[in-house]
Structure 1
């Protein structure tokens, strides 16, 4: 696991009851009997529970199996069905899945995007994902401007008030896509007034407005009554739920989290969701191997979509030399597997 300091040029936001002063990442390293190393990444916020999932269940089911078997992770998921369909065990399997795709690409000598059917694009634009400033207009305006100065042309807020959206929109002008992630802020009864108040500022989408996020009927009603595009999906782990987001929830943008699903499931979600008419925007808020994995998934799917990029200054930025984000854009790695390995010195410095 890595803990990398971050600076958002404002007081640290709270996350699960503590100030968020670091990016916490959980890397997964898999080595084959032939010495090929694959890297993955699991959702790191619940690190002790995810590590326990590896130690108590996954390791004994995965060791000795073929890394080339694309059904290995789905098979383990079925074997552990009472535990694996959501939560830390699902997140652990996602990291394993990413590492296995890295190995498969290295063994074949091709990028993961090639294994997924071939890259449709080699360049991906990213959007600056600002952390929460709790509606502080000074921080919002200053850091929205900072993102634009660094070359980003799409911006996402983690805010919950129309005043916060207005402050950012004042800086962006009318043409920059401005997304709003509310992290399941409201009940279905509360959401309509809250989202309608943001509508005059033309959010490109409002993300996860309702708790519980599986209330797809309420999401569809909210989409109809407000006319605001909806994004959802980072907390889902089943293809069935992703289907229902579109068929029942009328979601415009579906956002599977690769650190909770892995590459196998994310690619399946993207193919099915985009065939149904929505746009899949795979989510990777983190900086490690998941960043590379989501690049390959975006490159291989039919519709182009932007990459989420946490907007902060970091004590160190993984892959800053091998796969840099420049002016908000990034080139899809062309090397075998994910295309780059984590830096040993960074792991040594920030590993915990």
Structure 2
């Protein structure tokens, strides 16, 4: 035990797998309970609802995960929520029974659970569920140590992080795109990302933003390989910082490499990666300029940090996928604060009925301050969780 009563921490050297948290040897904290809270949060993006899986999307969905130790410390995590009907049972029936009773300073626990459950699938609901546990354990470790999570990652390299406005989909409506781009710039954002699939939509955003604003386009796996080069080259005159997820299927790294070479537009991929090993395959294929692991989909903060350090050591830039609002968002902020290369944070640009963690990291003039509080930076309001619980 450290002299101030906090648990002693051995932070990670830069570029290595993070942390060892050393608990008091006679009575180490152990996981007592794990509870999943599926949420549907109403939102307004100042237009008709975008479509998702053939239906209007009226809520942004997530799963918050509360982990309590046998000594009363509470940590919060987050798992991908668009498939909460599968993720919550994965937590309740598979992950929680394997985690309860284990030590909170055991950084290999989520990986062991993943290995134990590998027959349930190496991607999807099981890995999403493990993500929530891993993030919550980091929150607990920081709270026990009395330090922000960025300290456990070896210390923050920056105190402020730029945030880019990640627009929801406007289905190619150029008038609405110009209006919302103007709105985002007027609120102080300096970078814009679209979720569109047409060159006209991209050109409208460029005209509204002007020539100097970084502009990115996420097409959500819009094209088969044979069609992708022509589509991306049609957008190229709009001077894109990157084209994101341009090819279906997203793991066709050979076709992505060919597109990157032929179109001459930087590529960004990774939000659909099934597990951390996919990123090594991306780097080997030389198909990517910006890797985009998602903390709430890839297994949590631990693999997110490892992917960041490995990919940036190999010469790419890690810009994590983070259009979510809970503890996974806070975890991503701490990774961005501690990793080697500075990069901007993704924020879905909309008004939320309930912002689980936004109050801890307000965005001002396109930047936010990295939280100083122990752990991730703050706990969600449980009364509001109950209100928006699915």
Match of 1:139 among 169, 176, 183: 176
How far did 1:18 drift? 1.6
What does 1:148-163 align with in structure 2 at a 5 Å threshold? 148-163=185-200
Structure 1 unaligned regions, length at least 5:
none
What is the CA–CA distance in structure 1 between the aligned matches of 2:208 and 2:345, rounded to whole Å?
Answer: 22
Write 1 or 2 for the structure with the bigger share of helix.
Answer: 1
Contact 1:218/1:249 (<8 A) preserved: no
Structure 1 partner of 2:216: 179
Match of 2:225 among 176, 188, 191: 188
Contact 2:325/2:358 (<8 A) preserved: no
Q: Please state whether the residue corresponding to 1:258 is helix, strand or coil.
A: coil
What is the CA–CA distance in structure 2 between the aligned matches of 1:96 and 1:214, rounded to whole Å?
Answer: 26
What does 1:289-328 align with in structure 2 at a 5 Å threshold? 289-328=327-366
Contact 2:330/2:357 (<8 A) preserved: no
Match of 1:113 among 131, 150, 161: 150
Structure 2 partner of 1:265: 303
Rg comparison, structure with higher value = 2
Contact 1:246/1:252 (<8 A) preserved: no
Correspondence 1:239 to 2:279: no
Contact 1:77/1:84 (<8 A) preserved: no
Structure 2 partner of 1:221: 258
Q: Which moved more, 1:204-213 or 1:235-244?
A: 235-244
Structure 2 partner of 1:335: 373
State the Cα RMSD in Å. Answer: 1.0
Deviations 1:71-104 (A, max 9, x none): 0000111111122420100000001100000011
Q: Please state whether the residue corresponding to 2:268 is helix, strand or coil.
A: strand
Correspondence 1:25 to 2:36: no
How far did 1:23 drift? 1.2
Q: What TM-score, normalized by structure 2, do the two folds share?
A: 0.89
Q: Which moved more, 1:148-157 or 1:80-89?
A: 80-89
Task: Kindly tell me the number of residue pairs found equivalent between the two proteins.
Answer: 352
Correspondence 1:349 to 2:372: no
What does 1:77-88 align with in structure 2 at a 5 Å threshold? 77-88=114-125
Match of 1:168 among 205, 208, 219: 205
What is the CA–CA distance in structure 2 between the aligned matches of 1:142 and 1:108, rounded to whole Å?
Answer: 46
What is the CA–CA distance in structure 2 between the aligned matches of 1:331 and 1:82, rounded to whole Å?
Answer: 41
Q: Please state whether the residue corresponding to 1:219 is helix, strand or coil.
A: helix
